[in-house]
Amino acid sequence: MSGEVVVVGVGMHPWGKWGRPFQTYGVHAARAALADAGLDWTDVQLVVGGETVRNGYPGYVAGATFARALGWSGARVATAYAACATGAQALDTARARILAGMCDVALVVGADTTPKGFLAPNAGERWDDPDWLRFRLLGATNPTYFGLYARRRIDLHGATPEDFARVKVKNARHGLANPYARYRKEVTVEEVLASPIVADPLHLLDICATSDGGAAVVLTSAEFARRRGLRGVRLRAVATVTPTFPNTVVDLPDFATDSTAAVAPAQRTFRDSIAHAAYEEAGLGPEDLSLAEVYDLSTALELDWYENIGLCKTGEAERLLRDGDTTLGGRVPVNPSGGLACFGEAVPAQALAQVCEVVWQLQGRAEGRQVEGARVGLTANQGLFGHGSAVILSV
């Protein structure tokens, strides 16, 4: 394991709508992760913060904000932003510094405090900002895009609103015993279908909420972990890929795809390429997975991810779900944590929360939701403006 990076500690602040400063959650998670690792804050040589764009200047300089809150220690600092993929990019920065031999111990922290309702762009007249323009000119919210993807599953693959609802039912059940989940309540298909439609064909209960939360991960070189006798899981891949031109699936916050007039589309869509890059890096494949944490911004999107991460062929995700393959106890449980369905999204913390769950699963510590004998886990997500994120961890 020499030359490798290991995760030696993880920690979270429970997700919710607590309304406190984001630093509160970040510090809580960081201390939990350090305690989990058996390390002190002063052992940390690099702190990487996941930026939050909704909390003013301290949010823009999240790395230093957390370092200051934990007590200035002289540690090196970095801050990363990649929308929903922020945590993976922060993790990648920490991993790279360790692999380069520039430090042995790194702490990665992401935390957010979110307003109620739709995620909206920053204020002001911003005519050169596509994220502002899509609201102004189209009224296109995030669920608009989720609705487009969901409708294609129905019209092309024969998915039904009941299938989408079953994803919510599954994830709600998975998250029942997760102490960090915001929503811990069983939901029925009927309840999902009875909730109001937000963006046809998606109901309110098909779409994830926005939440407050914080997550932290402590990474060290394998050599350091061995020397200090720390328990760790292996960080096998961190894929932070961007799309390949021409990107043919219209992504948030874009008005249009790239043009295929001059260049034929790549063999893999952008979302397909994210996990693929991680598999290549780890020398593993979808058949090796014990579990996956994927970004279920909507229930239908979770089904897209089954195909994007190679669990099945295009158009087969509904069958996988109906057969119970992705339910706890099935062939490859997806979102054993309960996923965004149970958490709601705390943007800069979410990709790290996915990693925390996989670490707990691989160490047999996911009480009430344990995937038996878990050996390899993958996380996948995508941040707007072309940010891929996939992490593979193994025992």
Residues that bind another protein in the complex, under the rule CB under 8 A: 117-118, 120-121, 123, 125-127, 132-141, 143-144, 147-152, 155-156, 196-202, 245-246, 248, 250, 254-263
Closer residue to another protein in complex, CB, 1/197: 197
Structure tokens at 373: 């004998």
Residue 130's H or E segment, with its range, is helix 130-133
Output the CA–CA distances (angstroms, integers) from residue 392 to 221, 278, 292, 343, in the order listed. 16, 7, 9, 21
Closer residue to another protein in complex, CB, 143/214: 143
What is the closest distance, in whole angstroms, from the C-beta atom of residue 289 to another protein in the complex? Answer: 29
What is the closest distance, in whole angstroms, from the C-beta atom of residue 320 to another protein in the complex? Answer: 22
Closer residue to another protein in complex, CB, 17/126: 126
Structure tokens at 189: 């298909």
Q: For the chain, what is the largest distance between any 2 Cα atoms, rounded to a whole number of angstroms? A: 58
The amino acid sitting at 270 is F
What is the closest distance, in whole angstroms, from the C-beta atom of residue 253 to another protein in the complex? Answer: 10
Mention every residue, 6+ apart, whose C-beta is less than 8 A from residue 72: none
What is the closest distance, in whole angstroms, from the C-beta atom of residue 153 to another protein in the complex? Answer: 9
Closer residue to another protein in complex, CB, 68/151: 151
Alpha-carbon gap, residue 297 to 292, rounded angstroms: 15
What is the closest distance, in whole angstroms, from the C-beta atom of residue 134 to another protein in the complex? Answer: 8
What is the closest distance, in whole angstroms, from the C-beta atom of residue 55 to another protein in the complex? Answer: 18
Q: Are 265 and 246 in contact (CB under 8 A)?
A: yes
Structure tokens at 364: 């047999």
194 backbone dihedrals φ, ψ, rounded to 5°: -85, -15
Structure tokens at 121: 């762009």
Closer residue to another protein in complex, CB, 293/304: 304
Closer residue to another protein in complex, CB, 155/372: 155
Closer residue to another protein in complex, CB, 200/280: 200
Alpha-carbon gap, residue 283 to 295, rounded angstroms: 23
Structure tokens at 86: 């922020």
What is the closest distance, in whole angstroms, from the C-beta atom of residue 120 to another protein in the complex? Answer: 4
